[in-house]
Amino acid sequence: MAVDLKPRRLTIDGRCLPHVLTDDESARFEADGYLVVPNALDEETRDRLIDLVDRIDTVEREQQSLGLTGRLHHRDFLNEDPLFLELLDWPTTFPKIWGILGWHIQLYLHHLNVTPPEPRPDVVPPLGWHQDSGRVNVEMEGNPRPRLSVKVAYFLTDTTSADCGNFYVVPGSHLGNEIDVPAEGEPADAIPIQVPAGTAVLFDRRLFHSKSPNYTDSPRKAIFYGYSYRWLRPRDNTRIEDFEHLTDPIRRQLLGACHDGHGFSSPEDADVPLKFWLEENGLIESA
């Protein structure tokens, strides 16, 4: 019996077409290692996400004894509300992900962070500069090492001022395996990402980056989705088995559906419906 490969779905449609990665955006991402996407979230969606994050924060803060100033890092929340699942292929950002990584992709990890205000100390501690993916940066050869994955950070609260728990980056640092961090102070090229609420920032996993303290009066809230190639083992505990009633083919691909283990490295057409959709809409050439 022939398998109908056509993705029958409403969630990825013409809304994404105005947001396909442009040549200018691609060049900036390749040079800097990150890309700012203004107005990635509309105000209604952002407010709904803040409500969800606040509910999670209230529960987790009590369960983890984080107190008022402890930083929340919450993983594996995709099945806690349908809106989180919608972000999986959000029209303003997902087209840029496939524009960078191509069609053979999956959700690699996701987490949300809440950085509450804290008093400014007399001596400000140094930032924690790192590349993502842990042991990949120890065990994989090459300089620079392969990209492998890209993250999207959705900033739900305003970060246009300094000292509000900003996301710090060293532009261009993804092009090498090391950066010079002085004994006192931060790398010379380090900058805070200062963007309005509703902005998304895409960044290469190799980009040296860091969280920072929040010395303002309001908590910083952000949601992160990471995408990688399908042959890389996810860092999440979320699996396709957690979504028994999910029929959307592309979302199933992103959550790890596959005809068998071999299909993660040598996929059959039915394993990668995103490829079919991109071909059908003239966004890539048929192969």
pLDDT digits (tens, 9 = 90+) for 52-100: 999 999 999 888 888 777 899 999 999 999 999 999 999 999 999 999 9
Contact 188, 110 (CB under 8 A): no
Q: Is residue 285 part of a domain?
A: no
Range of the domain at 237: 14-280
**Is residue 1 over pLDDT 80?**
no
Task: Count Cβ atoms below 10 Å from residue 50 Cβ, excluding itself.
Answer: 15
pLDDT reported for residue 209: 98
Across the range 212-229, mean pLDDT stands at: 97
Residue found by looking up tokens 């929040």 in the block? 214
Q: Do the domain assignments include residue 220?
A: yes
Q: Does residue 7 register a pLDDT over 60?
A: no
Q: What is the pLDDT of residue 74?
A: 95
- 3-state secondary structure (DSSP) of residue 118: coil
pLDDT-derived band at 103 (thresholds 50, 70, 90) equals very high
The answer to whether residue 5 scores a pLDDT higher than 60 is no
d(CA 153, CA 141): 27
Average pLDDT over the chain, rounded to whole? Answer: 93
Give the bridge partners for 37, in sequence order.
200
2 domain-assigned? no
What is the number of alpha carbons within 13 Å of residue 167 lying toward its C-beta?
A: 31
Q: Is the pLDDT of residue 105 over 50?
A: yes
Within a domain: residue 7?
no
Distances (CA, A) of 194 to 93, 161, 203, 206: 19, 6, 15, 20
How sure is the predictor about 4, in pLDDT bands with cuts at 50, 70 and 90? Answer: very low
- The C-alpha angle with vertex 21 and arms to 179 and 105, in degrees rounded to 5, equals 75
DSSP bridge pairs for 257? none
In 3D space, the residue among 78, 76, 79, 85 whose CA is nearest the CA of residue 9 turns out to be 85
Report the CATH number at residue 102: 2.60.120.620
- Is the pLDDT confidence value at 276 over 50? yes
- How many domains is the chain partitioned into structurally? 1
R_g over Cα of the chain: 19
242 touches 2 (CB < 8 A): no
- The answer to whether position 195 is within a domain reads yes
pLDDT digits (tens, 9 = 90+) for 154-178: 999 999 998 999 999 999 999 999 9
Evaluate whether residue 55 is within a structural domain.
yes
Q: Is the pLDDT of residue 150 over 50?
A: yes
The sign of the dihedral angle between the CA atoms of 130, 133, 137, 142 is: negative
Please check the confidence at residue 238 and state whether its pLDDT lies above 60: yes
- On whether residue 5 sits in a domain, the answer given is no
pLDDT band at 116; cut points 50, 70, 90: very high
pLDDT at position 80:
95
**pLDDT more than 90, % of the chain:** 88
Which residue has 């400000």 as its token pair? 124
Structural domain includes residue 3: no
